[in-house]
Structure 1
Amino acid sequence: MTTPAAPTERRVPEAVHRRRWAILGVLMLSLLIVVLDNSILNVAIKTISTPAPTGLGATQSELEWAINSYTLVFAGLLFTAGLLGDRLGRKKMLLAGLAVFGIGSALAAESGSPVQLIAFRAVMGLGAAFVMPATLAVLMNVFERDEQPKAIGIWAGGVGIAIAIGPITGGVLLDHFWWGSVFLINVPIVVIALGLMVWLVPDSRDPNPGRVDPVGVVLSVIGLVLLVYGIIKGGQLADFTDPQVLATIAAGLAVLAAFVVFEKRSDHPSVDVTYFKNKVFSAAIAAIALVFFALMGVTFFSVFYTQSVRGYSPLQTGLLMLPLAAAQMIFAPRARLVVDRFGNKATTTAGLVVLAAMLAAFATLDADTPIWLLEVVFFLMGAGMAHVMTPTSVVIMQALPREKAGSASALSNTFRQVGGALGIAILGSVLSTTYRDGIEDKLSQLPPAVRHTAGESIEATLGVAAKLGPDGKALVAPANDAFLHAMHLTALCGAGVAVLGAVIVALFLPGRPPAPQEGQEETELVTADH
């Protein structure tokens, strides 16, 4: 049996088609825990950086690695996860990934040191690598092409829900329980998602899959780890000309170049580099990477601004981020309608320009700026992101055949995660280096043993100041001033990255789409039902 809509195009079984929206709900629940985890961690950063027993006493670089260990394993394995999903079945990969993610979450909650936390976050990244591409791949297989933009818009709006729930949930948990509860909360969600998935979600796979590419996987993971480690190390040393830093970054770039050469010559590559000959596809991928580069770096420093400089609690910080999430939830599902009217180019360029303007607005925030201004900035930032994420995701997913949905999703998510990882590493390093330069001369009166540690971050400085008692109060105002200067510079760097993204999509994305013709194969966004 078939429904009247586009019978010649129908490839979704009727039974699956009837429950497609329920399946989308289960996929969003799976997506929720992956995104939720990072947004919860952002609120918990300050708590984890405080000494035991309240936290783990993690340094700035350890905090960055707690985020990046997850992101690097995630990004490094997405190629393989997408291929395995296409080959062995997306449902199997979803179930396995969720189980590993749940186990990693339980272990992370019981971490006894920053090193253990970093290791268990990597386990969580392993699980997430198999969850994220499979959610979009299943979506592409249970919805017909004309409904895919609407479904992807709702899927992208799910990111907004996670951004909203994460910080608030994290704040509530940190107000009542120990820091590990922000990871333990994932376990019951995983159990519920596993049960619903077994019941509702159909399996799908590529009838002609490629072989697994172990050499490509190893090269991509090694290259990314070396590159980001070098960037973080440069920020930690406040010296990017250090020979060790330069050698590590150069080695990372060399390995990644070898990865690209190997993939071009391989008959079973992790990623088919010929996809990138399509300028529209490449521009959409670049836009997603640059958006997350800017966003993750800003989220990292905004938590310290609200908690360390402004004195808000973790829960209050979570509530302050509600406008960002609300804008995502409101605009992401509706962005396809804007694309229908104005086209991909105008929609995504405007979204990136708004994002750049809001990042630049962070450079105007001070210790006594009215907090409602920050709320406006967050809301407009979320609106800008929604009008980039939804159309670019649709362009990427519809550029490849349905059978390759796992590979397309893996590519999209890989660049998203690599962009986020590099955003945290590079903008975090700019923040760290600028902060140390600003506070260094104020720390000259401290004992040499604690001077270096106190200069790593505003939290480290305030921690040393608290231990010194009345003598340490003189450090508070200089620490705030140094941090605000560092935040302003970092925000402007993020804004510059968003402007670069706007230029790329303005040059290469298609304009307003023509009226779709019957049976026409197109890689552009196809309008959804009105």
Structure 2
Amino acid sequence: MEPHENTGHPRRWAILGVLVVSLLVVVLDNTILNVALRTLADPVHGLGASQGELEWSINSYTLVFAGLLFTFGVLGDRNGRRRFLLIGLALFGLASLLSAYAQSPAQLIAARALMGVGGAAIMPVTLSIISNVFDPRERARAIGIWAGAVGLAVAIGPILGGALLESFWWGSVFLINVPVVTIGLVLVAVLVPESRDPHPGRVDLLGVLLSVVGLVALTYGIIDGGEHGFGRPTVWAAIVGGLAVLAWFIAHERGSDHPSLDVRLFRVPRFAAPVAIVGLVFFAAMGVLFFSSFYLQLVRGYSPLETGLLFLPFAGAQLVFAPRSAAMVRRYGGKAVAVVGLTLTSVALGAFAVVDETTPIWIVLLFYFLQGVGMANIMPPATESIMSALPREKAGVGSAVSNTIRQIGSALGVAVLGSVLSASYRANIATAVDALPASARDAATESISGAYAAAAQLGPAGPRLVAAANESYVSAMHWAAGLAAAVAALGILVVLRWIPGRAAGPSAAPAVGGRELAGTA
């Protein structure tokens, strides 16, 4: 075949459009949920969810998603990527209906877990299909557009969620997924060709079980400790037990001839370094987005729709800059682009450590914009590096690992930063609620949402409790933001140590291909 011939599918750009629609439904749901958190915490207009239950409403989805991505990437490669995309969309639509009509936080958490099953079937096959229908010379551009679609969903989600909450009940933020899923099902059935790995691996059921159990136990311990204190043996049993199960998982994967995650891949810097960066960035960013939603709606008094609009600079920056990141990498090298992106992200996240109740809102918007620019110049080159480190027929492995680490980072970021925030908030507000009745004291100590609900019942004493809660929450936010910035900054060290500069050519890619990946599932 002549070098100038394009090996891509004739309908590859239309197929990319269909995949973008499928991807939108996964990302849209989580960004919508950010502006609905305060409403879900409201005992009158929502479900009266506690801080821990709100964290679980996010993490039940992300942990199931992360745990099943390994297996579903393999099953999609084995049984047909188009088929799994259709199954995933159908499950996601059903789980959205169940979430919309949940009658308690527990029901919502369970429905969100089912939504994670659908998302795990959708996400890896979108990147796998891209890698198989596009010529390698066009793949970076296609992945840039794919990443830009994530930015589009991030932009649409909060605004759409806010608009829905202004006019309808909280369940509408989940019900909106149904028409998107319906459109996606039709377009996938009509346009997307079926594809499979010609040499698929076996399914590692024990590895999947260990990864899910370990991650859920670890996250449960972190969230429960943050909500109720780390002085109880059950908390540390969950944390230590989760870590032990994850260590077992790693040992099992190293010895398996059909691992769900081939840990040998992490010996290759071109693969391991960008995976680590993805995890660190999403750990920091998703934790900050979680607590900043409460800051905007409670401390600053913005409505859900206004809050959604305030997230627009973050999303808009990704929309504009993500598609251009591939050209930046070609011009300046992946190391330089990633360092600049991580530096901007770290600065933007750390800036929340100086934000208070009276900070001009345009300054907060500037921080969101800088964070969006930074992440736009991290994710596409990192994803392309991960995918190009593998042969095309093993694309499912690359997408599964990339998205798994992203979801794990997001879940642990919400759990860890949420726990830091909760523990600091409780310590800060303790003296201000000593004189309150027991029920009001317990509610105010649990979360800032509880403090606002209690203040509404206290009459003249209410404004003093609101002021104390705001001050306590902002102080706690400063600690969480500082930790988030430090985690993101750690990514800079990873880039400087392991990401190759401009001189590195594509010759590194075959190092993990061929027979070396023969056991990869």
| Aligned counterpart, 1:45 | 37
User: Which blocks of at least 5 consecutive residues in structure 2 are unaligned?
Assistant: 514-521
What CA distance in whole angstroms lies between the structure 2 residues aligned with 1:267 and 1:520? 22
Shift of 1:516: 6.4
| Aligned counterpart, 1:345 | 335
What CA distance in whole angstroms lies between the structure 2 residues aligned with 1:521 and 1:118? 43
Q: What secondary structure is seen at the aligned counterpart in 2 of 1:467?
A: coil
Which one-letter code corresponds to 2:191 in the other structure?
L
Tell me if the contact between 1:86 and 1:407 (Cα under 8 Å) persists in the aligned partners.
no
- Taking the TM superposition and a 5 Å limit, the aligned residue runs for 1:29-68 are 29-52=21-44, 54-68=45-59
Deviations 1:8-30 (A, max 9, x none): xx654xxxx22111111111111
Deviations 1:180-239 (A, max 9, x none): 0000000000000000001111111111101111111100000000000000011011x3
1:516/1:38 CA distance change after superposition, 3 Å:
closer
Which one-letter code corresponds to 1:370 in the other structure?
P
| Aligned counterpart, 2:487 | 497
Q: Does residue 1:272 correspond to 2:270, yes or no? A: no
**Alignment partner of 1:315 out of 302, 305, 314:** 305
**Alignment partner of 1:74 out of 62, 65, 69:** 65
Shift of 1:241: 4.0
| Aligned counterpart, 1:176 | 167
| Aligned counterpart, 1:329 | 319
| Aligned counterpart, 2:457 | 467
| Aligned counterpart, 1:528 | none
Tell me if the contact between 1:354 and 1:380 (Cα under 8 Å) persists in the aligned partners.
yes
Q: What secondary structure is seen at the aligned counterpart in 2 of 1:18?
A: coil
Shift of 1:469: 2.2
| Aligned counterpart, 2:210 | 219
Tell me if the contact between 2:226 and 2:423 (Cα under 8 Å) persists in the aligned partners.
yes
Q: What secondary structure is seen at the aligned counterpart in 2 of 1:332?
A: helix
1:516/1:454 CA distance change after superposition, 3 Å:
closer
User: Which blocks of at least 5 consecutive residues in structure 1 are unaligned?
Assistant: 525-530
What CA distance in whole angstroms lies between the structure 2 residues aligned with 1:210 and 1:11? 25
| Aligned counterpart, 1:527 | none
Q: What secondary structure is seen at the aligned counterpart in 1 of 2:333?
A: helix
What CA distance in whole angstroms lies between the structure 1 residues aligned with 2:280 and 2:265? 19
1:450/1:478 CA distance change after superposition, 3 Å:
closer
Tell me if the contact between 2:7 and 2:134 (Cα under 8 Å) persists in the aligned partners.
no
Aligned residues: percent identity?
Answer: 57
What CA distance in whole angstroms lies between the structure 1 residues aligned with 2:352 and 2:78? 45
- Taking the TM superposition and a 5 Å limit, the aligned residue runs for 1:401-480 are 401-480=391-470
Q: Does residue 1:23 correspond to 2:15, yes or no? A: yes
Deviations 1:235-282 (A, max 9, x none): 011x33432111110000000000011111111111111111102211
What CA distance in whole angstroms lies between the structure 1 residues aligned with 2:504 and 2:211? 39
Tell me if the contact between 2:346 and 2:489 (Cα under 8 Å) persists in the aligned partners.
yes
What CA distance in whole angstroms lies between the structure 2 residues aligned with 1:522 and 1:314? 49
Which one-letter code corresponds to 1:331 in the other structure?
F
Deviations 1:44-82 (A, max 9, x none): 000010013x11110000000000000111011110010
Tell me if the contact between 1:398 and 1:523 (Cα under 8 Å) persists in the aligned partners.
no
What CA distance in whole angstroms lies between the structure 2 residues aligned with 1:352 and 1:291? 8
**Alignment partner of 1:83 out of 74, 92, 96:** 74
Shift of 1:515: 6.7
Q: What secondary structure is seen at the aligned counterpart in 2 of 1:106?
A: helix
What CA distance in whole angstroms lies between the structure 2 residues aligned with 1:391 and 1:412? 12
Give TM-score, length-normalised by structure 1.
0.95
What CA distance in whole angstroms lies between the structure 2 residues aligned with 1:280 and 1:388? 14
Aligned residue pairs total 513
Tell me if the contact between 1:64 and 1:425 (Cα under 8 Å) persists in the aligned partners.
yes
Q: What secondary structure is seen at the aligned counterpart in 1 of 2:125?
A: helix
Tell me if the contact between 2:391 and 2:510 (Cα under 8 Å) persists in the aligned partners.
no
What CA distance in whole angstroms lies between the structure 2 residues aligned with 1:415 and 1:6? 36
- Taking the TM superposition and a 5 Å limit, the aligned residue runs for 1:387-398 are 387-398=377-388
Shift of 1:471: 2.3
- Taking the TM superposition and a 5 Å limit, the aligned residue runs for 1:131-142 are 131-142=122-133
| Aligned counterpart, 1:108 | 99
| Aligned counterpart, 1:370 | 360
What CA distance in whole angstroms lies between the structure 1 residues aligned with 2:127 and 2:439? 51
Tell me if the contact between 1:307 and 1:313 (Cα under 8 Å) persists in the aligned partners.
yes
Shift of 1:520: 8.6
Tell me if the contact between 1:340 and 1:513 (Cα under 8 Å) persists in the aligned partners.
no
| Aligned counterpart, 1:247 | 237
Q: Does residue 1:94 correspond to 2:92, yes or no? A: no
**Alignment partner of 2:477 out of 471, 478, 487:** 487
| Aligned counterpart, 1:381 | 371
Shift of 1:346: 1.1
What CA distance in whole angstroms lies between the structure 1 residues aligned with 2:467 and 2:386? 48
What CA distance in whole angstroms lies between the structure 2 residues aligned with 1:349 and 1:110? 44
- Taking the TM superposition and a 5 Å limit, the aligned residue runs for 1:185-264 are 185-237=176-228, 239-264=229-254
Tell me if the contact between 2:388 and 2:509 (Cα under 8 Å) persists in the aligned partners.
no
What CA distance in whole angstroms lies between the structure 2 residues aligned with 1:515 and 1:226? 42
What CA distance in whole angstroms lies between the structure 2 residues aligned with 1:347 and 1:515? 16
Shift of 1:123: 0.7
What CA distance in whole angstroms lies between the structure 1 residues aligned with 2:247 and 2:505? 41
Tell me if the contact between 2:158 and 2:309 (Cα under 8 Å) persists in the aligned partners.
yes
Q: What secondary structure is seen at the aligned counterpart in 2 of 1:111?
A: coil
Shift of 1:5: 5.5
Tell me if the contact between 1:223 and 1:255 (Cα under 8 Å) persists in the aligned partners.
yes
| Aligned counterpart, 2:157 | 166
What CA distance in whole angstroms lies between the structure 2 residues aligned with 1:223 and 1:77? 13
Tell me if the contact between 1:231 and 1:245 (Cα under 8 Å) persists in the aligned partners.
yes
1:496/1:423 CA distance change after superposition, 3 Å:
same
Tell me if the contact between 1:395 and 1:523 (Cα under 8 Å) persists in the aligned partners.
no
Deviations 1:280-318 (A, max 9, x none): 211100000011001110000110111000000000000
